[in-house]
Chain A
């Protein structure tokens, strides 16, 4: 199931600008600032391709062939021997990264034990990742939105921010990653609680994994979802109130629930492992930095 797109900003430029300006003066700067503060601890940069090519970093000296322009010859090195050497730089090129951030209602949940809702945390991590990518000069796109086409630079970052913090009029109860064609190269990051119905979540995960790119599932959960501290007669409802379950002794369901949760995680991990993906677990009462570090390391930046 495709994620219902967020409210689309108008196409005309004036409206765009205006909306952008609103965002900049509104929710955007705090999100950006927070995201930037989060990433200050991480060194970023354009990824070397481990081969000679266009780049700024020294890669190797090689003997000059015929046909090499003179300008390429490193005279200082050549002077130390009888042969001519050409100084080669590493080929440096930007990576493409596609990110999907679950914006369903189930993400919009915060218990008393957590400082932020899952959606807020997901947005923050998305944005922080965007900042990192923008600094590294990577190209990045947000799946399921109009910023889907991967681009680089501050402008794309601002568009992300606008999209991520946009109000949503309608959102599904549970989210599932969109089943769309990915670029042939690059990475993908899916941020969600993966609490949706099994037959929606897993096919799309498998389809994304099957497209041959590597990626990361980041499962964000609220502490109560992991601990299930409820007691007594309770009716549980999903945030969108579409799914409900009533019990007389919530405490008695705890073991069963935890068992099921672990089962789902195992499934997620199995799917991820089969496709060479990674599953990162994150709780909203943990520091977002750990999740970002894990994300960054998983993306190979570390």
Chain B
């Protein structure tokens, strides 16, 4: 088959017909379209007349193009184009077909498509009666030619392996020449280069015969084991192609052997352009960090895309050193007890002396009130911290005393490496019997420090502390402060490790911190700083003679499966520098021998396919002569028929165009019937909406004006519109019962279509999602100019984005050309047009109601009694009332007259107030400023005074 990229042709020789296209072009240009022939008696008068121009004699270029396209479509269509042509064996050749499958971890994400493609190839071989050599590169066996049916059965049962395909093994077997030469080779590779052998193998296979390389669209990504970096879990996602940017995401799981898996977190990864590595950072709480069992890529899950968390994430070993040897009775209040209890969730705690600890140093050493050290201890500790240890120190009487002595940072003499800051001689005592001040509480934690996740509780009080000597570099070292800013926890990075100092004691003598839950949390947060968090992986010498057995193996699809107890145990030497493969599948291994364990030796080890230093290499360039195909989701698609259909359509267009060119089409169109039909069609298309839009007005206008009708603006949201309608019904009911206004049934108005001037007042629930169109806003603006009143309700209550003074409201105000608005004060007529009201609640309380600002110079005057004077003369009726209290919900009643929505607390009169506001509103709209007449002021004052 002739292929052009992903395009193949069944009958490529037909494409030679495309050469004829230029000839056709020339021919078509030469022959003009035939004229229409008309009988015309007056033809004699025409004799001898010349056409003013002769260009129409040539076929126009676009018609030519159309015809050439049609012909090209026919030619290409019959040539049988196939997009993504399926596996087709070379018809020639009689020998067996070698199907080499990279059946390793990177094949797992698209294994289904891979297998289907391989099965198709096997089926084709079966049809041609050829034998098949099915070589599974990860299996490590040298296959023999078998009938295609047998190969099919074997292929059906094949699953991807959780390790890399062994190309060097294949290469060696090929070179050993035990195999009959295949007539053809199809290599379903995984898009990755597994060592140098991959490229050599490709060249070798190309030398054997026709070679087809079927690769994935994108190669699988891999994941390195997670490590800790500054308290965060970090893993690298590796990719083979470093071109372009990209993203991936990684999930962290918890759960061990026999436990269900849980997702702990997800991190997204960005690949920079040109980078083959992306970093996934998990910012997990420390107690979750310790439980992470594995990471996995969300897309294209495979064994390589899964990394088991090693011992690096398992609980830390910490040593608590309390120099004070307490009696048993006092043990429950000793610093060692507090520290031990607080560290239990985070670490394996042991209590030892400093000498013991330095002999076999753990990840974390907690020193409770250690005064001075011996030189040997000091040197050992410093070396240990610089090597990555985490030293946590607590203050106490001994430390405070040691500050006073010469050796420990006294004055400005020398700086102690084992203290993060220099300390002042003598601490301070707060809130004691002889002190003035109250115990200090904790201030906010350093947002960059390890305590950034914690919030300081108010009940922790610090009575005594050691003070840090002020110095310029103090700021970066303080992780926690008291509420007056004095450092409470300071830290310093020393080499690879950290030295942390709590300026209080580890027992409850100096502060209540050890009694609080915060103490546990703070220690847990500090544990994330423990570097490595575990001893070095055991060396080969240590592992010699040990036996290990897989407890939890990573499946090819990245999902852990429990290991079998019956398998051959793995000698420990091989785990020292693990090379995962067929005989060492990745997973979690447990010690399986019964030999005596050394103290602190590892009980379990993790073998991952990739380590932090590994990279992925893309598949080498295909050797010359090899056919490269992409294994894609796209199936082979023949589209010859579509092309021929296109040619037919083009032909029809050509026909019409030719008719039109020769004037015959226009002649027909001119005939009355056709035009009438076209007109009728057009009319049908246009008539429906316009008829709908226009027939309403008559009856509606009569209904709206027969009685006072409350209108509401329909938003298009059925729920809001229903509430508005019921609100208007409820308000109308209240008006009819209490006032002389007896409104008719309310009407919904579409401001774009309906006549607005029929309504004295329009209620407009402003929906943020459905802003009215420009046209509607213009019509509303005209309604306001013509004396209408618009009640805009943003329905959001006093707060939130929907409040009446929000930016959206401002935008609408601009569009409606509203006058300046001001909050309705007590002096406004709205507060006394029927009822005397001080607040205007709806479904929500609070939030001000806005109306047109009073003219400048008419400030509200408040009398000596604190009461408004009501003497502002304001002849204008505000065209707009803006609020956010969702009045319609307060007014709304259902069909039986019962309120639709609960409002306020029971027994509250908020609904009554809302209804009163509604009545005032309608009265204001109907009577204007009548009630602001001076005549009523004394009576109003009198009533207000009661």
Enumerate chain A interface residues (CB-CB to B < 8 A): 106-107, 109, 118, 174, 193, 195-197, 222, 224-225, 228, 230-239, 243-250, 252-253, 256-257, 260-261, 264
Say which residue of A197, A233, A243, A260 sits within 8 Å of B662 (CB atoms): A233
- A261 and B41 alpha carbons, distance in the complex (Å): 12
A247 touches B45 (CB 8 A): no
| B35 with A264: CB separation less than 8 A | no
Cβ of B33 under 8 Å from chain A:
yes
Q: Are A235 and B53 in contact (CB under 8 A)?
A: no
* A251 → B minimal CB distance (Å): 9
B38 touches A232 (CB 8 A): no
Chain A contacts of B662 at CB under 8 A? Answer: 232-233
A-B contact count (CB 8 A): 112
Asked if A243 contacts B32 (CB within 8 A), the reply is: no
B33 touches A225 (CB 8 A): no
Q: Quick one: closest B residue to A112, CB to CB? A: B671
The residue from B38, B41, B49 contacting A106, defined by CB atoms under 8 A apart: B41
The residue on B at minimum CB distance from A252 is B52
Contact flag A248-B39 (CB < 8 Å), given A232-B662, A232-B666, A256-B49: no
A249-B53 in contact (CB<8A): yes
Q: What separation, in Å, do the CA atoms of A239 and B46 have in the docked complex?
A: 14
Residue B664 at the chain A interface, CB threshold 8 Å:
yes
**Contact of B35 with A238 in the complex, beta carbons under 8 Å:** no
On chain B, the residues within 8 Å of A109 by CB distance are 39-41
In B28-87, which residues have CB < 8 Å from any A CB? 32-33, 35-47, 49, 51-54, 56-57
* Given A193-B41, A245-B43: A257 and B49 interface contact (C-beta under 8 Å): yes
* Chain B residues closer than 8 Å to A225, beta-carbon distance: 40-42
Q: How many Å lie between the Cα of A202 and that of B489 in the bound state? A: 129
B661 near A232: Cβ-Cβ < 8 Å? yes
B663 within 8 A of partner (CB): yes
Q: A233-B35, A233-B663 are known contacts. Are A264 and B45 too (CB-CB below 8 A)? A: yes
Q: Kindly list 15 other residue pairs between chains A and B, CB separation below 8 angstroms, not including A228-B42, A232-B36, A232-B663.
A: A106-B41, A109-B41, A174-B44, A230-B663, A234-B38, A236-B39, A237-B37, A237-B40, A238-B39, A247-B46, A252-B53, A253-B51, A256-B46, A256-B49, A261-B45
Set B41, B45, B661: member contacting A257, Cβ < 8 A: B45
The reply to whether B35 and A237 contact each other, CB–CB distance below 8 Å, is no
CB nearest to A249 among chain B residues: B51
CB-based contact A233/B32 at 8 Å: yes
1/0 per residue, CB under 8 A from A, across B7-46: the answer is 0000000000000000000000000110111111111111
| A contact residues around B41 at 8 Å (CB) | 106-107, 109, 118, 174, 193, 195, 222, 225, 238-239
Q: Which residues in B have their C-beta under 8 angstroms from that of A174? A: 41, 44
**B56 nearest in chain A by CB position:** A248
Residue of A nearest to B666 (CB): A231
Residues of the B chain whose Cβ atoms lie less than 8 Å from the Cβ of A106: 41
CB neighbours (8 Å) of A257 from chain B are 42, 45-46, 49
Structural contact, A236 and B52, CB atoms closer than 8 A: no
Q: What is the minimal beta-carbon distance from A106 to any residue of chain B, in angstroms?
A: 4
Sorted from nearest, which 8 A-B pairs have the closest CB atoms?
Answer: A232-B663, A106-B41, A236-B40, A260-B45, A233-B35, A248-B56, A236-B43, A245-B46
Question: Which residues on B sit within 8 Å (CB–CB) of A235?
Answer: 35-38
* Bound Cα distance A244, B662 (Å): 18
* CB <8 Å contact, A238 and B40: yes
Residues of B within 8 A of A (CB): 32-33, 35-47, 49, 51-54, 56-57, 661-664, 666-667
Q: Is the CB of A247 within 8 A of B664?
A: no
- The answer on a CB contact under 8 Å between B36 and A197 is no
Query: In the docked arrangement, what's the CA distance between A12 and B741, Å?
Result: 109
Report Cα–Cα, A157/B36, bound state, in Å: 43
User: Contact at B46–A236, with CB atoms within 8 Å?
Assistant: yes
Contacts of A243 in B (CB 8 A): 43-44, 47
With a cutoff of 8 Å between Cβ atoms, the chain B residues found around residue A238 in the complex are 39-41, 43-44
Residues of A within 8 A of B667 (CB): 231
Chain B contacts for A245, CB-based, 8 A: 43, 46-47, 49
Shortest Cβ distance from A248 into B: residue = B56
A261 to B33, CA, bound (A): 30
Measured between alpha carbons, how far is A249 from B54 in the docked complex, in Å? 9
Q: Shortest distance in angstroms between B56's beta carbon and chain A's nearest beta carbon?
A: 4
Evaluate contact between A237 and B32: CB separation under 8 angstroms. no
Chain B proximity of A237: nearest CB distance (Å): 6
CA distance A106 to B42 in the complex (A): 8
**Chain B residue contacts of A193, Cβ below 8 A:** 41
Q: Chain A: which residue is nearest B36 at the CB level?
A: A234
| B51 contacts across to A, CB distance below 8 A | 247-249, 252-253
From B42, B44, B49, B666, A247 is in contact (CB under 8 Å) with B49
Q: Give A264 to B37 CA distance when docked, in angstroms.
A: 25
Q: Contact at B46–A253, with CB atoms within 8 Å? A: yes
A239: chain B residues at CB < 8 Å are: 39, 41
A118 contact set on B, CB distance < 8 A: 41
CB neighbours (8 Å) of A261 from chain B are: 42, 45
A290 to B910, CA, bound (A): 93
- Docked-complex contact A237 and B39, CB < 8 angstroms: yes
Tell whether, in the assembled complex, residue B43 and residue A237 are in contact, meaning their CB atoms are under 8 Å apart.
yes
Write the nearest CB–CB distance from A189 to chain B, whole angstroms: 20
Residues of B with C-beta under 8 A to A260: 45-46
On chain A, the residues within 8 Å of B32 by CB distance are 233, 248
- Show 24 residue pairs from A and B whose CB-CB distance is below 8 angstroms, ordered by the A residue: A195-B45, A225-B40, A231-B663, A231-B666, A231-B667, A232-B664, A233-B36, A235-B35, A235-B37, A235-B38, A236-B39, A239-B41, A248-B56, A249-B52, A249-B53, A250-B663, A252-B51, A253-B46, A253-B49, A253-B51, A256-B46, A256-B49, A257-B42, A257-B46
